[in-house]
Structure 1
């Protein structure tokens, strides 16, 4: 049996944000329909200038695929010291029927696109229908993917952006306006950006709250992306008081997500979490019910997202003759 090797340049030929959104939505549906085995992911943080290494494994009965993704991030010295990216991703796929290794693929597009797609799926089900102003706190690569993905769901009138690094903001503005033709307004403070949002997206690696509860207007939909392990935080926990809280995985978010902070402070209890996003996708719970409620989507990232998207890319590569096959087992 042959194993397929897909390098980054191979993935680049077949990846698309629309397909990623479809894959993530399908993954959420499968997760809340009892078709997924997804053990708790392993996060391994290291002291600076090293970052962290995460392992996410999952199985989906619908495609009979077991996936494992190793994802690093925050290795800030990599570019200068080793000529490598600050974060790298590798995805492995096995045939669950016999545990034969089907594919080894570079996973940066998978991680970037499926994370952006997660935000877009939440916008589809939870944002006000008349939402048109998006705020991005953080202007790195994931901020771009969030905007790309959300632009598939709604017509964005304008983007308000803030980042602690002015050069990053300027590049974000140039890139997004050039690629998508959406006006980007650079704000001098995170407050000025947050107060204008219909949809508020955070993609920082925050070590403390960067958004105060008083800045969030009624009817805002929040996409909280940056907190996926203990020690990270982007929001004043008071924002959660009275909000409609949706997690990708409740078990993950109460331990490692933004939701952990208000629980730790006694502001909410686990029972106050309204739903997992998959419950809303399959229709067992309603999404937004009025234009005044604040909705919060806390996304820690799920193995089923990687599984769904990686398998679709694997099948597409086989169909198009992309990648390199080799004998791993004989």
Structure 2
């Protein structure tokens, strides 16, 4: 049985952010319409090595596609010369169960997570939003900003991180693709004075305080993707309209996991899932003064729809290598 093998260079050659946003928005819509089978991601924790392995299966009924992503997250990998996040995605035939493709999922993970932030800002940020604040300037920050540039007219990007060299590298790279002003800020407080705030840190103690956030701000909270992680002050969530990507998954591993477990907020404080807003079954932002938060944990359906686009384009363009698996 032949299976299509796609290396990271193959994946990068057939996907861009515009196409990824289109696919991910469609995936959220189907999820909001309850047409996706997707159990919460499962974890194996490697405490000795400060890392974990996650499995993320999904089945999109409307498009009749299924697959699974296996992804590892090791925050110390940067010092070892490896990516923090590494992933493999397998697409399967729903008719026979046979694998159709095995591909690099690392680039897809970066792109679809960025795309989710773009979709969230499209539906939740104020229409006149032009200033972006970035807390963290790693690889995920790049795709987050790239996605935002697809859905809003960015005039200024305020950045801050613990390593000045990383800030400089981020600005140098992103100025090549986004024509706007970049401003280095010495504190997170200064960065928070923006229209759309993006947090992409792996912290387990909040780094953004409620009093720093102005009315009307939209926040894409990206970093908290496992139990015990938290980037935002719990009181900030209490005063905001909270939109999650998936209620079950966010409750145990998203930005809301600690505020929920400590009783600062309850399930009733969660306004909607992003897919419900995209599908139009629940409203998004209700006023220009409202603070909105998108709690992104990363959904298997995002990987699935993006990988399916990659697979179809690779087949059409004759990209990749057919390997005999069985």
Q: Same fold (TM over 0.5)?
A: yes
Structural mapping, 1:294-313, within 5 Å:
294-313=291-310
Contact 2:32 2:277 in 1 (8 A): no
Q: Secondary structure at the match of 1:274?
A: strand
2:236 aligned with 1:239: yes
**Paired residue for 1:263?**
260
**Paired residue for 2:137?**
139
- May I ask how many residue pairs the two structures share in their alignment? 326
**Paired residue for 2:250?**
253
CA RMSD of superposed structures (Å)? 1.4
In 1: Cα distance, 2:75 partner to 2:161 partner: 20
Cα deviation 1:293-327 (Å, max 9, x = unaligned): 00010010100000100011100000000000122
Gaps of 5+ in 2: none
Compared CA separation, residues 167 and 116, structure 1 to 2 (3 A): same
Counterpart pick for 1:205 among 202, 205, 227: 202
Cα deviation 1:142-161 (Å, max 9, x = unaligned): 00100000000001000001
**Paired residue for 2:216?**
219
TM-score when normalising by structure 1: 0.95
Deviation of residue 181 (structure 1)?
Answer: 2.3
In 1: Cα distance, 2:231 partner to 2:50 partner: 21
Counterpart pick for 1:158 among 153, 156, 159: 156
Deviation of residue 48 (structure 1)?
Answer: 5.3
Contact 1:52 1:75 in 2 (8 A): no
In 2: Cα distance, 1:200 partner to 1:261 partner: 20
Counterpart pick for 2:125 among 121, 124, 127: 127
2:165 aligned with 1:167: yes
Which aligned segments of 4 or more residues in structure 1 are displaced greater than 6 angstroms?
none
Gaps of 5+ in 1: none
Deviation of residue 268 (structure 1)?
Answer: 1.5
**Does 307-316 or 26-35 show the bigger shift?**
26-35
Contact 2:136 2:199 in 1 (8 A): yes
